[in-house]
């Protein structure tokens, strides 16, 4: 993900239509991804925060009760198989989490 092709773990949720990504913007929470596992927004020159206000993921999707706040953002997303990419791909950049880690939901 990103202009610098960062490898991140993605959990596909076919019940939702949004990509929710743990980022380096998530701070002060024991449930945020470890530094190496998070998407580093500052190192991607194509990262764009779309809105200034944080939104509640639980309100947006109705399922992720524990994932609390995120920015709407966009960046380049790469898939290794098949080898495709999408520029300005919309996603939710997690800034605060409560409860279980995203990978446990």
Could you read off the pLDDT of 63-93 as tens digits, one per residue? 655 667 899 999 999 887 778 889 999 999 9
Please, which residues bridge with residue 21 across strands? 93
Please report the pLDDT score of residue 72 as a whole number.
94
Question: Token pair 């300005």 is at which residue?
Answer: 88
Percent of residues, the chain, with pLDDT higher than 70:
75
Q: H-type helices in the chain, by residue range?
A: 57-61
Cis omega (within 30 of 0) on the bond before 41? no
CA distance 87 to 62: 27
CA distance 28 to 30: 7
CA distance 37 to 82: 23
Domain boundaries, the chain: 20-99
């Amino acid at each position: 993900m990103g202009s610098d092709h960062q490898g991140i773990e993605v959990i596909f949720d076919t019940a939702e239509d949004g990509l929710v990504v743990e980022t380096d913007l998530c701070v002060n929470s024991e449930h945020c991804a470890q530094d190496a596992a998070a998407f580093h927004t500052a190192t991607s020159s194509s990262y764009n925060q779309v809105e200034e206000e944080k939104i509640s993921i639980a309100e947006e999707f109705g399922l992720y009760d524990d994932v609390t706040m995120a920015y709407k953002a966009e960046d380049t997303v790469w898939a290794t198989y098949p080898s495709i990419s999408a520029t300005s791909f919309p996603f939710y950049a997690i800034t605060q989490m409560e409860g279980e880690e995203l990978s446990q939901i």
